[in-house]
Amino acid sequence: MQQQIDKYTQEINNFVKATADELEAFRIKFLGTKGIVKDLFEQFKTVGAEEKRTFGKVLNQFKQLAEAKYNELKEGAGTAAESGKTEADLTLPGDGFALGSRHPLSLVRNEIIDIFKRLGFVVAEGPEIEDDWHNFSALNFPEEHPARDMQDTFFIKKNHGQDDIALRTHTSSVQVRMMENGKPPFRAIMPGRVYRNEAISARAHCFFHQVEGLYVDENVSFADLKQTLFHFVQELYGEGTKVRFRPSYFPFTEPSAEMDISCTICKGDGCNMCKYSGWVEILGCGMVDPNVLENCGINSKKYTGFAFGMGIERITNLKYVIRDLRLFSENDVRFLKQFKTEII
């Protein structure tokens, strides 16, 4: 009997971890109605008085050991004891999660939109896949005219003429759609992605983002254009930023100009960014050509308007000193997480 007890004691002590099923098997084996403990007590009844004295205590201890082991394993079964952790402490702080940040182009686009919204401009959008009429013809690009080469177009369908389909090369196409579908006055900006067939490098990409603007009403003059854009630049780059207008050419505006601002990096002293000239070009603009107004069904004797267009990448480069355009579309989190997150 002593030998049996020793053997089972060892077995119980070796039993350290158990699944619910193993624990139930343990209970049946040792503590069940036909289990070992019961069996030993049955045997105990039949031994002599001498042995009764020796084994009484041993047997009781053995029974307590089996019960204690069972209770201990039952408490931990399937929960914390198994995974080696203590029970979840609900007062601990939760796991933090990383907040994303806005893409720098979105930050700057939103800022541009905010400035023009305060001046009463609305936001207009249009399709990225355009027909020849909205991207070129309505904007006074004559067919086969070399001006179309200014914008290296990705054609989707080329039929030499008005049913060409292309990725839009500028968001001026949205201006056409707006004028065709409404009545003056118009005061809107058109943010969006545009495409041009250029080799990808630090300075050029096959797509970029624009914000164009349109203001059509009675008596709109070049002075309105200058004042609006001057105000825009003061808001975006700070009071005291200088502007200058240089004569230029666009088929859809007459007269046309390009606008430079005093370099935001060196404040006009000369640096790499402004090629030591103190000035950087940021946008094209002009008075809407009467032909464009007429193409869109607007009486050019009664209405005049101005338009402008800028690349968001360029505006962003000047704000954050980013020298490689490719960074904007590579999705490198080390680049992206440097920009502040807007609280929305």
By CB under 6 A, name the binding residues for ligand PHE.
170, 172, 212, 250, 253, 284-286, 307-309
Phi, psi of 313 (to 5 degrees): -55, -45
Q: How far is the CB of 177 from ligand PHE (least distance, A)?
A: 14
CB nearer to ligand PHE: give 129 or 321: 129
Q: How far is the CB of 105 from ligand PHE (least distance, A)?
A: 16
Q: How far is the CB of 170 from ligand PHE (least distance, A)?
A: 3
CB nearer to ligand PHE: give 210 or 264: 210
Phi, psi of 232 (to 5 degrees): -55, -45
State the Cα–Cα distance between residues 74 and 23, nearest whole angstrom. Answer: 7
CB 19, CB 12: distance < 8 Å: no
Q: Cβ-count burial of 292 within 10 angstroms (0-12 exposed, 13-18 middle, 19+ buried)?
A: buried
State the Cα–Cα distance between residues 179 and 220, nearest whole angstrom. Answer: 16
CB nearer to ligand PHE: give 80 or 204: 204
State the Cα–Cα distance between residues 15 and 9, nearest whole angstrom. Answer: 10
Q: How far is the CB of 136 from ligand PHE (least distance, A)?
A: 11
- Non-local (6+) Cβ contacts of 44 within 8 A are 1, 52, 55, 56, 59
State the Cα–Cα distance between residues 177 and 98, nearest whole angstrom. Answer: 41
CB nearer to ligand PHE: give 70 or 305: 305
Residue nearest to ligand PHE (CB): 309
- Tokens 């060196």, residue located: 266
> Is residue 51 a known part of a binding site?
no
CB nearer to ligand PHE: give 184 or 309: 309
Q: How far is the CB of 288 from ligand PHE (least distance, A)?
A: 8
Known binding residues for Mg(2+): 254
Known binding residues: 254
